Each structure stands twice: as C-alpha cells, then as structure tokens.
Structure 1
Amino acid sequence: MMTSFAEMTLHNMESVEVFASEGKGRGLKAAKELLAGEVVFAEPSFAAVVFDSLSQYVCHSCFRQQKKLHRCGQCRFAQYCDRTCQRACWEEHKQECNAIRKNGKAPNENVRLAARVLWRMEKDGGVASDSQLTTLEDLEDHVADMPEEDLKELKIDVHNFLDYWPSGSRQHTVDSISHILGVINCNGFTLSDQRGLQAVGVGIFPNLCLVNHDCWPNCTVILNHGKIELRSLGTIAEGQELTVGYVDFLNVSQDRQKLLKQQYFFDCTCTHCSQHTKDDLKMAVKVVDGKKPSEEVVKEVTEHSLKALEQIEKARTEGNYHEVVKVCRECLEKQGPVLAETHLYHLRVLSVASEVMSYLQFFTEAAEYARKMVEGYMKLYHPNNAQLGMATMRAGVTHWHAGLIEVGHGMICKAYAILLTMRNQTEMELRMFRQNEYVYHTMREAALKNQPMSMMTEPVAEGIKSLFRRK
C-alpha cells in the first residue's frame, strides 16, 4: 500500500527533536545519525499563495507554470491547470473566492496569505497534523524590530486585510493580524515552479521555521510543488543542531551579517562569520611572481566592476544581450590582471557572461567563462552545494556545445554526483537531475537546430529562506 505524504511527514519527524539552541531560541537537532542526502523531514505548506506578478501564469493549486490556465468562474482571479487542480484546491480557495467577489478584487500576496493562514487556523486550531512541532502563534513576528518604512507597509496591509476579511467570519484584532503578517515577513519560504528554476509563490512551513541559520549549513531545502524536503549535506551526528543558509554564502561575512540583521533581525555569530572564513578568497587579488597589484589599481578595478555590474543588470533587464556581452568582456579584461579567480565581482561577471553568451550561441567563449566560474565556486562552496551542482551542469552543457565533449562529459558527471548526493533514496530523488536534464536537452535541441534558446538562468542565489515581499 502506498504511503501518504502526511504519513511520510510524520515518520520523518522522528529524525528530529526541538531543543533550546544557545543564543538562538528554539532549534532542531538530529535525533539519530543522518547520512549525506538523507531526508531529515518533509513538510507540506500550512498555507501558500502564488505571487501577485505571476497570478495569471501559475496554477494556484500545484504551482506549475502553464501556457493555458483555466480561471475560476466565480472570483475570476484564481487560475488552475484543469478541473482536477481546481477541485483539489477548492477547500482552501472557497473562502478566498467569496472574499474576492465581495471585495471586488484580490488583495496583495501578503494579505492573501495571511487570510489563508487564519482560515486554516480557524479550521485546525493552528496545528494541521500531529507532526507539526510548533504553532504559528509561537513563531517570532519581529514587528517591534521593524524599521519605520516597513511598519508603514504593515499598517497598510492590516487596513487592506480588514477590508478583505468577510464580515460574517470571526473577527481578528489588529495585533493578531500584525503578528501573522510579521510571521510571513520573516518566515515565508519561496516555492519554485515544476522545473525548480523560478520562484513562483510563498508558503509557511512551521517545522522548517524552527531550523536555524548557519553560513556553512549542514542541511539544504528542496522545494517540490508546494512541499519541502530538508536534506542533510553530509553526515550529521545524533544530537547535532540542524541548520540551513538563510542567505547565500557567496558574500563576505560583513555583508551576510548585514543582510541577516536587516531581513531576519539577528546577529550571526557562526564560525564562518566570526572568523571571516574565506573572506580573503572572496576579495583576493592576483599574485604574479610574488607581487600584488597596487592598492590604487585594486580600488580602480573594484569600482569599475561595481559600475559594470549595474550596467549589466540594466541591459539584461532590457533584453539588450549584446550590450551585456560588451560590458562583460570589457570588465573581465580589466579584472583579469588584478582580481583573483575567487573574487566575488569576478565570479558574478563570469556567471552572467557565460549564461548570456550561451544564449547568443558564442559557445567557445561561454565555455571558457563557465569553466573559470566553476573553478572559483569549487574553492568557496560546500562540495555538495546545489548552486555548485547547477553551475557545473550548465558549464558541462556549454562545453559540449562548444565541441569540447570530453571536458563537458566530465563536468556533467561531476554535477550529477553532486545533485545525486542530495537526492539518493527513492524515485523522488531523480527529480532534481531530471530538472537539469530538461535544461540540458532544451539547450542541446536549440544548439542542434542552430536557433536561439529561451533564457533559463540558474536559481537566484539568495539563500533558501527568502523574503518574498522584499523586492
């Protein structure tokens, strides 16, 4: 007999224990030894919504992107793949549907998610299953820590919520609404589409909210159609705390600490921050015959790199890819004699250059840049990091397109090994590689037909836990 997802979730929660983590409040630790790639636990969302910007292009039930969706005939806001998805979502959507019709329009994603959370809490009392380790009332909202500008936005959302919430339903106080909106603000996790390549919505996962941050975490999160899996990156001893990265490690410790303070309201004191681990590599300069470039030259190239990255982003947003290539080439030529292969600004330019040049089918040049980028990543990232695996896969495909089949094959094998380590137990474990195979075969088909392919970037490197409402 097949095991239901709820049963699987309950079984997996036997691998963890809640404990008081010193200086962090509550946390989760391993209740037994965990091996690399093992599922620590899986969890469906307590509530989830599609982003405002994608509400017409993504199914509101399974979060798949589709060319043609079927709109709810009553509220005319929610979109679904087909009747099956619509029926599956009706229990969650019916109160939302009535509220949208009476309000005349759908509110923003903050308010929609807060309403879905409160409707779920009214139904289940804040605990959806026996495997849920905490209630939403017990999660931190950090409303008291918000800066003035964020508080203004919060008050607007509270006002819009009160207009949206049905008059016939149980009424909530301003404080209780503010708490839920605050919880969403600092505990919302982004949901990816079916390929794992784009964030399309946000959900609340109570158990996952208990996992604390570390800049060099021992776990990673895989997002699958509204569900998450927490997986170990290496062997974790019984009693060891479980951690994930809230922000990308590819920032110097000072910048990571600043981001964590601004977005999650805590001071990171992990070993990598306190010891500034690998900061020297991320800001390293090139040494030739024991000599370093002068401080004046380094400053000049650094400032040029920052300006170039701004120009690259602007041109990329506008779809002016030949301008992107021009700026990248000029910047890389200037960086070459000065910045080391692990320098952050050098890696960021290499990443964009390899991606855009692949899109324009400059495969030989793209392969060179992709190889250099992966070499830099390998010296900075955890060996089982998903970002490293995705970058290596992309570099392997680019080398193959450039006619460098042996190098390309080797890179694809390395990427497969990284990704398989993370997903190695059941048929579910193959999805990550199949998502990469989709990228692989799409790029291959475009190359063989000598046609431009659609731009498909790597997942945005913002860390696992992402504030959906911050632009």
Structure 2
Amino acid sequence: MSQKSYKNKTLRGKVVSNSEEEEKTQSQKSKENSKQSLALCAAPPKLSFFDEIEESDITEYRPLKRISKDIPVNQRNKTQGTKTGTSIELKSSSNDQTLENLVIKSANKRLEIRMSDQSGRGLFALQNISPGALVMEDIPYSAVVDDANFFTTCSHCFMKGGKLSCCSACKLIHYCSKECQSNDWSNHQHECKVFVKVQRKPPTSIRLLCRILMRRMSDPASFKEIENLQSNRHLFKQEQIETFAQISMVIRDCVPKDALLSASELIELFCRFTENSFSILDGEMIPNGVAVYPNASLINHSCRPNCIIVFEKSKMMVRCIEPIVIGQEITINYTDLSQSGEERRKELQDRYFFLCRCELCEYYKKLHYDVADVEKKLSIAIELYDKGSNLRDRDDRQAITFFEQSFNIQNELLHKANYYLMRTCKSMVEIYCNLRDWKHALIHSFELIESYRILYSKLHPLLGIQLYSTARIYLSFNDNEIDIKYLEKIEESLREALKILEITHGFKHPLTKMVEMNLWDVEGEIKTKKKKAINQ
C-alpha cells in the first residue's frame, strides 16, 4: 500500500540552581523526594531540559541539551495503534464474516471494506461525500523523522521551526519542547541506548521497524493491526528477501530479545512495511518523516484520486477533493503524478505489485509516441540540466544559463505537464528567487501553475500551494513596482489558493491561516491605493 515499549521508569527532574547553596539545598530535597518517587513508579516520568538527573538514573535517561537550528527550506515531495485517532469501528454480521460486512465509521462518514475484482480490498463510501469533507483521521502505529530531516524536525510532533533541543545522551534525537520529549520518552528510552552504543543513527527504515517491535513488546494486542496488513511476500524478488534478511541481523542488535520476531516473521514484517509505509508531509507537502497507518493502508491508489492526504503534525487527515457518491471507492495516489504514465505504472508494479488501470492510465495506454527524431535534443536538454544542478549554490548565475537552455529545448518538444519540463521550471523559480530576480521567477511560476492545472485536480493541494507561492513572489517586488492591477492579480491567486487549501488542509491549518492573513493584507493595500488614486 501507499507511501504510502515500553516500561515507564520514574525519573526525577530538578530545577536549575544559580548558586552552590541552592544546589546543596536542591540536592537534599531531591534525596527526600526520591523515597516518595519510588512509590509512584506507575506515574508518568518527570522530564527536564537540564542535566541534573541523579546518577542512578543517568543510564536510563539523559535530559535535553539546548541547541539552535536554522531550518532549511525547499525540498520536495513524494505523494503523495492500539488507539487510533480515526475512531474506527469494525463490525461483521452474525451470519457472514466476510470483508464485505466490515464497516468503518470515521469522521462521521460511513465507509465499508469491500473486495473488488479490480483493486482487491478497499474502502467504499456508504453515503455521498462532498469536496472538503474529512473522510478519515488516523494516527500512526509508529513513526520516525526521516534521515533528511533528522536534525531539523521534532521527533515527536514532526514540527519544524524555532529552536530544537537534543537528547544529551545520544545527541541525535531532537525535540521542540520538554512536553514533546516527555511524550516521546516511552519510544526513545530504548533506542537512546542503542544510539549511544553505536554512536550513529540507523537508517530511517530500521529506526521505524525497531519502534514497531518495541511497541509490539509492550502492547502485544496492538500488533494485530500490523499483522492484518497486506504483505505479498511471495511477490518480492529473491534479492529483496535476501536484503531484508541482512537488515534483520542489524535489527537483532537494536532491540531486546523479548521484542524480536523469528527470522521468517521479521521478513514478513519487512514486506508489510515496504507496502504500507507513508511519508509524513508538512503543510507544503514536503516529506519529513515515515510512519505506518494501519487504517489508511486500506485505501487504494488512483492516478485521478478523489481524496488526498494531509497531516496535522503526525496525524493523517484524508480529505475529499472530488464528489464521491454512495458505493464509490475511496482513492488516493501513491506516486508522483508529474511522472509519465509509463514511469508511474512501473513504480506501482515494482513496489506494490499491481498494474494501474485507472482512467488516466487506460487513456495513455492508447497513445503511442515516436520520439526518435527528438531523442538527441532531449538528451542534450538533460545534460544541460545536470550541469546547472552541479553549479547550484556555487554559481547561480551560470547555473541559470544552463537551466534556461534546457528549458527552451524541453518547452519546444514536451507537453506542459511533462515531469522533466516541470522539474527544470521549478529549479529556475528557486534560483531566480535566490538572485532576487522576481520578474523572471514570476514568469516561470506562472508556467508551473499552468502545468499543475493540467496535471492535478482543480482542488489538489499542490495547485493551491503553487498559487500561494506565486503570490508571495509578487509580494517580493518593491512597493513602487506593484500597482493596482498587479495587486488584483495577487488577490485573485490568494483567493483561489485559500479556496483550495480550506478544502485540502482545513480552515484551522497554519498554512490556510497564513494564506488568509496575506489575503487580508493585500485587500487592505488595494483599498488604500484606490483611496489615494481618488484623492489625487
């Protein structure tokens, strides 16, 4: 499917003191309190940012060490427990235990698990659902920040920005607050020892699998949710199975014996993880983590989906973007829709073991292209793109020259929604913004909007984000360069972006609120300029 423990220990935090006398007083108080704390071993641990845990506790827990991090921007996309946030209820009739009788109640929408000849097990609507409706919520069985964002994202709430703090024992896991550290301690307390021992962070997949195993050890009943996921082990290639077997040897050194599965069961878990893991995305649809969502894993793929996935921290929100009627299947997309149909089908076949037969793929199967005459030019365009990429951040002005040459060739030969053309266009927007050449950045940002309108649904979040990005480029112009007609274009882009994001992200999402605030500012500026024009 889609890209788609813990023993509490009572820990005694202390207050930072500013003098030796205060430290002695605090030390005496902590010794008196330690007797009381032994009687409260069932209580949640008290955590502190300060390195003042008693020596007897240091082997189990190290507080956070405050550090500052600048959060990098601009990286892009792959789109798209025992107690889950989705309020899912499975029911079966007394007469028939088949999947057709299992019913999901989620976000006040009734969904049903059914088997279909085309897509196998999936979720189907039992009532009409309108665009913008929240179809399902789900919280992860286990989740980790991915390697690319390991030092810039909170490992509990998956939020970026502000100052981060690192665990003073392993110096790897980062948090945005003491509360996040406290809430994540049951997950981190074991892996912290492993990180200290090996002095490095294991890759994303190993960290997530270890957390799954640790949760299974502390809450065996919850693991049924993982066992119910599709594995398709018999469809994996032998070399993949051998790789899983090798990785399982690494995992054996990272978790206690009580948490381990047999060799065969570990490989089965790898297969389920490969098919059922999701990327956690921030508000701009940029990946920052990986997780397993057992309930959302029931949703099948379409290259023209009627739902999209957005996230509030690590909580998954499945929202409707196309009208859904009773009996219609709920679908999301597993791949990057800007890829060619051939590339999408190959990825779906290689990873998820099915041939996509959605409306879009069936249409493109009928088309045949003869690229023999243009193959050489396209190869030159790719070479120019690679040269520009190698120069980025070192010599942006030289890099943009190569990108412009590549774009001119591709724009002549390729469809506006072609992956390679869009990739070049995105790079040019970013570099022109770095060079503060807002006019050229704006031209190519409009090119991207046209591509997105062709490629995506009219309510797709990436279209809304691109409209907002274009408006922000407008707002980067000097004040005297923006007259009423340009401000009205900005207003139009922000209104459309807000309409989309209210449906895909919801009214309360931080990105939606930011767009709304920018729209208010622009509306106010338009009124001011119009008043000045009248007075003059």
Normalised TM-score (structure 2): 0.70
The Cα shift of 1:207 comes to: 0.8
CA displacement, residues 370-410 of structure 1 (integer Å, 9 cap, x when unaligned): 11221232123211111111112212222343533332322
The secondary structure found in structure 2 opposite 1:59 is coil
User: Following superposition of structure 1 onto structure 2, how do residues 441-452 of structure 1 map, counting pairs within 5 Å?
Assistant: none
Q: Please, which runs of 5 or more residues in structure 1 have no aligned partner?
A: 129-133, 284-293, 442-471
- Whether 1:375 and 2:454 are equivalent positions in the alignment is no
- Whether 1:172 and 2:261 are equivalent positions in the alignment is yes
Q: For the residues of structure 1 that align with 2:421 and 2:308, how far apart are their CA atoms?
A: 26
Q: For the residues of structure 1 that align with 2:457 and 2:430, how far apart are their CA atoms?
A: 22
Quick one: structure 1 residues 97 and 308, their matched pair in 2 at CA, closer, same or farther if it must change by over 3 Å?
Answer: same
- Whether 1:55 and 2:150 are equivalent positions in the alignment is yes
- Amino acid of the residue matched to residue 138 of structure 1? N
Question: Contact between 1:400 and 1:409, CA under 8 Å: does it hold in 2?
Answer: no
Q: Which of 191, 194, 199 is 2:280 aligned to?
A: 191
Q: For the residues of structure 2 that align with 1:101 and 1:73, how far apart are their CA atoms?
A: 10
Q: For the residues of structure 2 that align with 1:220 and 1:104, how far apart are their CA atoms?
A: 39
Question: Contact between 1:386 and 1:419, CA under 8 Å: does it hold in 2?
Answer: yes
Quick one: structure 1 residues 350 and 279, their matched pair in 2 at CA, closer, same or farther if it must change by over 3 Å?
Answer: farther
User: Aligned-pair RMSD on alpha carbons?
Assistant: 3.1
CA displacement, residues 270-324 of structure 1 (integer Å, 9 cap, x when unaligned): 12112218979xx8xxxxxxxxxx97763343223332333343333x5542233
Quick one: structure 1 residues 319 and 29, their matched pair in 2 at CA, closer, same or farther if it must change by over 3 Å?
Answer: farther
Question: Contact between 1:191 and 1:200, CA under 8 Å: does it hold in 2?
Answer: yes
User: Following superposition of structure 1 onto structure 2, how do residues 268-287 of structure 1 map, counting pairs within 5 Å?
Assistant: 268-276=356-364
Q: Which of 217, 237, 243 is 2:305 aligned to?
A: 217
Question: Contact between 1:57 and 1:67, CA under 8 Å: does it hold in 2?
Answer: no
The Cα shift of 1:137 comes to: 0.9
Q: For the residues of structure 1 that align with 2:299 and 2:493, how far apart are their CA atoms?
A: 33
CA displacement, residues 150-202 of structure 1 (integer Å, 9 cap, x when unaligned): 334322210001111213x2442011111222222221111234x54532211
- Whether 1:155 and 2:238 are equivalent positions in the alignment is no
The Cα shift of 1:37 comes to: 0.9
Q: Which of 465, 473, 480 is 1:398 aligned to?
A: 473
The 10-residue stretch of structure 1 (233-242 or 270-279) with the greater mean CA deviation from structure 2? 270-279
User: Following superposition of structure 1 onto structure 2, how do residues 69-218 of structure 1 map, counting pairs within 5 Å?
Assistant: 69-100=164-195, 106-127=201-222, 135-167=225-257, 169-193=258-282, 195-196=283-284, 198-218=286-306
> Where does residue 451 of structure 1 map in the other structure?
none
> Where does residue 286 of structure 1 map in the other structure?
none
> Where does residue 313 of structure 1 map in the other structure?
389
CA displacement, residues 190-238 of structure 1 (integer Å, 9 cap, x when unaligned): 1234x54532211100011110001100000002211100001121112
Q: Which of 390, 413, 431 is 2:510 aligned to?
A: 431
Question: Contact between 2:106 and 2:136, CA under 8 Å: does it hold in 1?
Answer: yes
Question: Contact between 2:378 and 2:409, CA under 8 Å: does it hold in 1?
Answer: no
- Amino acid of the residue matched to residue 277 of structure 2? G
Quick one: structure 1 residues 170 and 252, their matched pair in 2 at CA, closer, same or farther if it must change by over 3 Å?
Answer: closer
The Cα shift of 1:105 comes to: 5.3
> Where does residue 380 of structure 2 map in the other structure?
304
> Where does residue 408 of structure 1 map in the other structure?
490
User: Following superposition of structure 1 onto structure 2, how do residues 316-331 of structure 1 map, counting pairs within 5 Å?
Assistant: 316=392, 319-331=394-406
- Whether 1:18 and 2:110 are equivalent positions in the alignment is no
The share of aligned pairs that are identical, in percent, is 23
Question: Contact between 1:389 and 1:415, CA under 8 Å: does it hold in 2?
Answer: yes
- Amino acid of the residue matched to residue 124 of structure 1? D
> Where does residue 418 of structure 1 map in the other structure?
500
Quick one: structure 1 residues 377 and 279, their matched pair in 2 at CA, closer, same or farther if it must change by over 3 Å?
Answer: farther
Query: Highest relative contact order (Cα 8 Å, sep 6+), 1 or 2?
Result: 1
Q: Which of 333, 344, 352 is 2:427 aligned to?
A: 352
Q: For the residues of structure 2 that align with 1:308 and 1:205, how far apart are their CA atoms?
A: 41
The secondary structure found in structure 2 opposite 1:135 is helix
Quick one: structure 1 residues 108 and 349, their matched pair in 2 at CA, closer, same or farther if it must change by over 3 Å?
Answer: closer
The Cα shift of 1:251 comes to: 2.3
CA displacement, residues 54-90 of structure 1 (integer Å, 9 cap, x when unaligned): 3333221112235543333444442222221111112
Q: For the residues of structure 2 that align with 1:320 and 1:261, how far apart are their CA atoms?
A: 40
Question: Contact between 2:382 and 2:406, CA under 8 Å: does it hold in 1?
Answer: no
Normalised TM-score (structure 1): 0.78
Q: For the residues of structure 1 that align with 2:161 and 2:299, how far apart are their CA atoms?
A: 33
Question: Contact between 2:338 and 2:455, CA under 8 Å: does it hold in 1?
Answer: yes
Q: For the residues of structure 2 that align with 1:137 and 1:6, how far apart are their CA atoms?
A: 16
Q: For the residues of structure 2 that align with 1:299 and 1:322, how far apart are their CA atoms?
A: 28
The secondary structure found in structure 2 opposite 1:275 is helix
CA displacement, residues 304-347 of structure 1 (integer Å, 9 cap, x when unaligned): 3332333343333x554223311122223334554454444333
Quick one: structure 1 residues 115 and 384, their matched pair in 2 at CA, closer, same or farther if it must change by over 3 Å?
Answer: same
Quick one: structure 1 residues 77 and 369, their matched pair in 2 at CA, closer, same or farther if it must change by over 3 Å?
Answer: closer
- Amino acid of the residue matched to residue 135 of structure 1? E
Q: Please, which runs of 5 or more residues in structure 2 have no aligned partner?
A: 1-82, 89-104, 521-536
